[in-house]
A = this chain, B = another copy of it.
Amino acid sequence: LQQGPGVLVGPGDDAAVVAAPDGRVVATVDVLVEGRHFRRDWSSGHDVGRRAAAASLADVVAMGATPTALVVALTAPRDLDVSWAEAVADGLRDEADLLGASIVGGDISAADAVTVAVTALGDLAGGEPVTRSGARPGDRVVLIGRLGWAAAGLAMLQVGRDDHALADAHRRPLVAYDDALAAVKSGQLSSLIDVSDGLVADLGHVATASGVSIELSAAALPIAPEVAEAAEELGVEACEWVATGGDDHAFAGTCRGEVPKGAVLIGTVVAADGAAQVFFSDRPTPASGGHEHFAS
C-alpha cells in the first residue's frame, strides 16, 4: 500500500506515525458486519472495502476535517478466499485515495464472519471542529450529497434485482466529500453530521445536541429521477427512502447566511418547544427509530 507524504512510519511496525500538523487529530471508528451491513452474495470484497472506508471517512469530514490515515481491523473465516480479502484492501485504498488518505496499519484475525472495523484520522488544518451542537434558531438546514439511493438499491436487491443500476448504490456509496469540505471551508456551517442512520434520525442528533427543533420541507428534498422511478416500480414512497434511508453518507447540517455551493436548502432551525424534534412542515414525519440495516 502506497503511503502519502504525511505518513512518517507506515505499516509493518508496532504502530504507524502520521503527521498531525494542526496539533490536534480527529478520530472515529465504524464497523461493518457481514449479514448485517452487507452480504457477500450481493457485494464484492472491493465494494465492502469502499463502503467500510467511506463510513469512517465521512465521519471525519463531518467534523470539518480532512482525512489523513486509516487503520483497519479485519476478521474473516479461515476458508475465505484470499483474493476476497485483498479486494477489501483495494477497496479501502481506492476510497481513501479520493481524499489523499493512506492506510497506515491493520490487524487481521480468523472469525466466523467478515467484519471490517475502520478507524479514520483527520486534520483540522487550523479550523474549528464542526460539531452537532452549533445549530441555532434561524439557521438554514442544508443537505450535501445524495440520499435515498442506497435504500432504493437495497430494496431492489431484496426483490432479487441484483443487476439494477441502483443496487450499486447499496454496495458502495458515492460520498460528496469535496462539496462537504468546501462548505466547511466557507465558514458558513454552524453544525454538520454524516447521515448514516437516516436524515430524520441524524438531524434528530443535531437537534438534541443543539437544543433546537428542525423543520424540514419534504418538497425541498432532492429526489433523483432514478430513485423516483424505482420507488414507483416497487410501489413505495421515494420520500420515505430519502428521509429515513441510511448508508448514502450524505451530510446534513445548518448554516448562517448563504447556502454553500453544492448544498441544498431543505429546512429551518426553530426554537425547541419542549423536547428537541425534527418534523416536516408539509407532510407527516416518518418514524425514524434509527436505521436498522437488514437482517440481524
A interface residues, Cβ below 8 angstroms from B: 8-9, 12-33, 35-37, 59-60, 62-63, 65, 69, 71-75, 78, 104-113, 115, 117, 119-122, 124, 129, 131-133, 192-194, 209, 296
Contact B20 A25 (CB under 8 A): yes
19 new A-B contacts, CB < 8 A, other than A20-B24, A111-B113, are: A9-B131, A12-B132, A14-B62, A14-B192, A14-B194, A15-B59, A15-B63, A15-B120, A16-B27, A17-B27, A17-B129, A20-B25, A23-B23, A29-B72, A31-B73, A31-B108, A33-B109, A75-B115, A110-B296
Tell me how far the C-beta of A280 lies from the nearest C-beta in chain B, rounded to whole angstroms. Answer: 24
Contact A23 B19 (CB under 8 A): yes
Contact A107 B30 (CB under 8 A): yes
Instruction: Pick the contact of A24: B17, B29, B78, B132 (CB < 8 A).
Output: B17
Give chain B residues whose Cβ lies under 8 Å from the Cβ of A193: 14
Contact B30 A25 (CB under 8 A): no
Give chain B residues whose Cβ lies under 8 Å from the Cβ of A14: 28, 59-60, 62-63, 132, 192-194
Given A17-B24, A23-B19, A24-B8, A33:B111 Cβ within 8 A? yes
Contact B111 A107 (CB under 8 A): no
**Oligomeric state, in copies:** 2
16 A-B residue pairs with Cβ-Cβ distance under 8 Å, sorted by A, are A8-B129, A13-B63, A13-B209, A14-B193, A16-B27, A18-B26, A20-B23, A25-B25, A25-B121, A27-B104, A31-B73, A32-B109, A33-B111, A36-B110, A36-B111, A113-B113
Q: Which residue of chain B lies nearest to A108 when distances are taken between CB atoms in the complex? A: B31
Give chain B residues whose Cβ lies under 8 Å from the Cβ of A31: 73-75, 107-109, 117
Q: How far is the CA of A127 from the CA of B120 in the complex (A)?
A: 24
Q: How far is the CA of A130 from the CA of B107 in the complex (A)?
A: 20
Contact B17 A25 (CB under 8 A): yes
Tell me how far the C-beta of A175 lies from the nearest C-beta in chain B, rounded to whole angstroms. Answer: 13
Contact A119 B8 (CB under 8 A): no
Give chain B residues whose Cβ lies under 8 Å from the Cβ of A209: 12-13
Contact A117 B29 (CB under 8 A): yes
Contact B18 A27 (CB under 8 A): yes
Give chain B residues whose Cβ lies under 8 Å from the Cβ of A13: 63, 129, 131-133, 209
Given A33-B109, A113-B112, A121:B27 Cβ within 8 A? yes
Q: How far is the CA of A34 from the CA of B12 in the complex (A)?
A: 25
Q: How far is the CA of A105 from the CA of B108 in the complex (A)?
A: 21
Give chain B residues whose Cβ lies under 8 Å from the Cβ of A107: 29-31, 117
